């Protein structure tokens, strides 16, 4: 029977899974599959598993309970194994690697940081600060101007927006980086100027969170900054 896998931990972990349930509707029952010194927390695989809110919440609740009580390797949503034998085989085959990574992450937490630039404010500032762009904006307003002017205006504006978003992302990352041991920064997107995860020592979690809040206050006229954490180190497993 196919299994849904939540996390890998040690057999010495207390595994207090009472009052928790797995993914699916009705919820699946949680259990441990053991091999040598490691175990994986699993449940049956629902027939219609999708990234629904209830399933995502169940997935993360299991991982957070495990992480609160001992070192774990939290797996991404949707990790599936063919059966119990397959789970045991991977635990035996990569046991040393998993144990080493658990040791490395034992006192670490993750913070996810997302920054969304205030696009309207940025565009106003860009146009008002450039005589050339201001002139092109006037010429091309309401569909006016030549095709070359419209293309030039669009290209110049897009390039400056990207430059400023890159600068914003680096400003935020540079302020938080000294408090983190590692980082994972997602490629730039139209949605976020910055979408990054930082690995932080548990003892520095409060300082990291406070720095993020102060940074958000300072940038509030330019961007919305969201700092989520401390979390299990999902992005660094």
Q: What's the pLDDT tens digit per position in 49-67?
A: 888 899 999 999 999 999 9
Supply the pLDDT for residue 74.
Answer: 93
Supply the pLDDT for residue 222.
Answer: 84
Supply the pLDDT for residue 145.
Answer: 62
Under-70 pLDDT residues of the chain: 122, 126-146, 148-150, 152-154, 157
pTM: 0.78
Residues 6 or more apart in contact with residue 171 via CB below 8 angstroms: none
Supply the pLDDT for residue 32.
Answer: 95
Residues 6 or more apart in contact with residue 36 via CB below 8 angstroms: 11, 91, 92, 95
Among 113, 120, 223, CA closest to 168 = 223
Domains in the chain, ordered, with CATH?
Answer: 3-106 (no CATH), 109-236 (3.30.70)
Supply the pLDDT for residue 139.
Answer: 56
CA distance 153 to 158: 8
Among 232, 237, 234, CA closest to 66 = 232
Cβ-contact 40, 33 below 8 angstroms: yes
């Amino acid at each position: 029977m196919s299994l849904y896998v939540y996390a890998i931990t040690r057999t010495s972990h207390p595994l207090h899974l009472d009052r928790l349930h797995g993914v699916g509707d009705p919820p699946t029952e949680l259990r441990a599959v053991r091999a040598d010194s490691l175990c994986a927390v699993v449940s049956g695989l629902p027939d219609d598993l999708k990234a629904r809110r209830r399933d995502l919440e169940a997935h993360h609740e299991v991982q957070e309970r495990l992480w609160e009580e001992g070192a774990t390797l939290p797996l991404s949503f949707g990790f599936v194994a063919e059966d119990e034998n397959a789970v045991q085989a991977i635990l035996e085959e990569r046991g040393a690697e998993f144990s080493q990574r658990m040791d490395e992450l034992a006192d670490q937490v993750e913070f996810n940081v997302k920054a969304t630039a205030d696009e309207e404010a940025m565009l106003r500032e860009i146009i008002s600060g450039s005589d050339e762009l201001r002139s092109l904006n006037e010429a091309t307003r309401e569909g006016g101007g030549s095709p070359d002017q419209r293309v030039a205006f669009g290209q110049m504006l897009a390039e400056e927006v990207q430059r400023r978003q890159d600068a914003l992302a680096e400003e935020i990352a540079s302020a938080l980086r000294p408090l983190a041991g590692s980082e994972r920064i997602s490629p730039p997107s139209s949605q976020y100027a910055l979408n990054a995860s930082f690995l932080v020592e548990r003892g520095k979690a409060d300082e990291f969170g406070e720095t993020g809040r102060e940074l958000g206050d300072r940038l509030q006229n330019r961007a919305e900054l969201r700092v989520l954490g401390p979390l299990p180190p999902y992005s660094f497993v």
